[in-house]
Amino acid sequence: MSTLILKFKDKEVEIESGKSFSSVFPDLAFKDKEKIVGLFINGILYDLHMPIKNSGTIEPVYVDSEESLHILRHSTSHIMAQAVKHLFPHVKLAIGPSIKDGFYYDFDFQETISPQDLKQIEEEMRRIIDEDQHFERFVKPRKDALSLYKKESEEYKLELINDLGEEEEITFYRNGDFIDLCRGPHIPSTGYIKAYKLLNIAGAYWRGDERNPMLTRIYGTSFFQEKLLTSYLVKIEEAKRRDHRKLGKELELFSFHDEGPGFAFWLPKGVVLRNILLDFWREEHRKAGYVEVQTPLILKKDLWIQSGHWENYRDNMYITEIDESPFAIKPMNCPGGMLLYKEKIHSYRDFPMRVGEVGLVHRHEKSGVLHGLFRVRSFTQDDAHIFMLPSQIKEEIIRVIELTERIYEVFGFPYHIELSTRPDKSIGTDEQWDLATKGLEDALIEHGKGYELRPKEGAFYGPKIDFHLEDCLGRFHQCGTIQLDMSLPERFDLNYISSKGKEERPVVIHRTVLGSIERFIGILIEHYGGRFPLWLAPVQVVVMPITEKHVEAAGSAFNRLNDEGIRAELDDRNEKLGYKMREAEVKKIPYIVVMGQKEIESDTVSVRKGGGIDMGPLEMDGFVDLLKQETESKKKQ
């Protein structure tokens, strides 16, 4: 057996190839060994059970690291499956990965299970954890692995093994009486789990395919410390209170109906919010040198073949027929933008051309992934296509980054950037991809913004920069994107006349800032908890008379606000004032104006700010000025 050399700080250790990391422990002076749950060797994550097959530099993974949570949660999913198997012996097991903030396991139950059963499963998990069962990694020949699961009638595991191709050795992990098909990684023993919680039950098609059986998915999370779990559960409860689906209904912004699954219906106040957001977007882009166009919703199949979408994106497209010819509803605005470019001959002097489009697109999403405004089948993209010379790539990308930063700053969103490179399924030459990727990298470096590299996650036609916003609960949402494309200009035979009088190919940037208008509104609703800044609020002020005797004065105050361009409502219903004020507070209207005899006599208005802040009597002129100043400054809250 060959010898490997592992390096840690200034020490080297020789081990036999195939030994596990635990065999290295005695020879290396690790700090807090009991807190190590894994290691990186040359950037590859191992747990303590995996055989080491390559020499390299060791970096321990301690329990306070992000990687350790992945290992912990994967192990907790096994323990949950073990507990479920104890309580429901006839259950069939599917898969149980770790995910962001937790884990899940998919089961095929022979009986009905409800959320009330989660407590019983948690109690059985506690018994397993208290036993401090050790995880053991082992392999079986393929035929023995298949025999094991055939004997137990575990058809989902059999399918997974058959999908492993020609692998002759199949990896398993055992803890106590539980064995699962698994590559790892896992914690040393069940006792490492100090805090866990099962969160909810959902349906999920096997392998995400709606043609397959519907399984029961149990979600959970776990931590190395109880206080971290407590903090996370508090955050979950706050997220429930801020759920945009719940608030969207309460604030009368939008709705969804069975007659159009995945298609949002916008109510009057929601339309006001959309229009405010789009007016802001348009003004910022006007100042940044963009023009706006509009392209058709439905275009011929030939166009989508030319663009590459028919081959690479057809499963996500809605197909129809017009005059016995196939057409498709556009999933992206890009091909239409390419046709508009070809309307006339362009000179190098025209560049850069910054062309925006607020375009409605449709993409077929499976019903199981639809989620309010966050995942819909029809949405509006704030697209733009920038046509330019190769020499302008870096400067234009920097301009897009700076525009994106300015817009995000208005909403108070911090963000981080990811750079995604060529995927396995793509169009274009190696030379085009190398040049495009370097253009993005150079712009990020010159701008001075740090970024995370995402290999093989680019669009099929070019590498991309993605902007991930962080909301008030610390959750990240991918919104803006910059994609550098040298393939579509070639596919559509786009040209310009160079300074030398020759035809040359332009370079194209595809970019969005908000991403999907629908999704961005959903993020805003949850970020602000429905209490929008004054400039975004669909209703900025509600005016209320104290009694019927004060309706006329309240109407005059409402008319004054309305004439000043302030979005006001008059609530002159014959209801008690306290009731109407509580209702306005539930609707999170920024300001409440009350008109009574005292206000009439003093020629003032009594103002109450959202959140229960009594501002007392104000002169109407002063109140109007306050509202205008707060709106124009786009004060965040």
Catalytic residue numbers read: 334, 363, 381, 383, 385, 464, 510
Strands (DSSP E) found in 525-602: 541-545, 568-570, 591-595
Of the candidates 402, 439, 421, 288, the one whose C-alpha atom is nearest the C-alpha of residue 355 is: 288
Rounded Cα distance between 256 and 271, Å, is: 15
Q: How many CB atoms lie within 10 A of CB 29?
A: 8
Alpha helix ranges (H) inside 242-376: 244-250, 268-287, 301-307, 309-312, 334-341
Helices (H) and strands (E) in the chain, counts: 18, 33
Rounded Cα distance between 107 and 216, Å, is: 5
508 burial (CB, 10 Å; 0-12 / 13-18 / 19+) is: buried
| Token pair of 19 as six digits | 């030994």
Contacts of 266 (CB under 8 A, 6+ apart): 253, 254, 274
Q: How many CB atoms lie within 10 A of CB 228?
A: 16
Are the C-beta atoms of residues 155 and 128 closer than 8 Å to each other?
no
Question: DSSP per residue over 52-111, as a string?
Answer: P-S-EEEEEEETTSHHHHHHHHHHHHHHHHHHHHHH-TTPEE----EETTEEEEEEE-SS
Handedness of CA 511, 532, 362, 217 (dihedral sign): positive
Q: How many CB atoms lie within 10 A of CB 288?
A: 16
Are the C-beta atoms of residues 544 and 593 closer than 8 Å to each other?
yes
- Cis ω before 352 (30° cut-off from 0): yes
Rounded Cα distance between 521 and 514, Å, is: 9
Report the chain's C-alpha Rg in angstroms: 30
207 burial (CB, 10 Å; 0-12 / 13-18 / 19+) is: middle
Rounded Cα distance between 587 and 478, Å, is: 28
Alpha helix ranges (H) inside 88-182: 117-130, 142-151, 155-162
Phi, psi torsion values for 530, nearest 5 degrees: 85, -10
| Token pair of 25 as six digits | 């422990």
Rounded Cα distance between 636 and 535, Å, is: 9
In the sheet that holds 541-545, the strands lie side by side as 568-570, 541-545, 591-595, 605-609, 613-618
| Token pair of 226 as six digits | 């109880």
Rounded Cα distance between 330 and 47, Å, is: 46
HSE-CB for 359 with a 13 A CA cutoff: 27
Helix (H) or strand (E) holding 526: helix 517-528
Contacts of 408 (CB under 8 A, 6+ apart): 415, 467, 469, 480
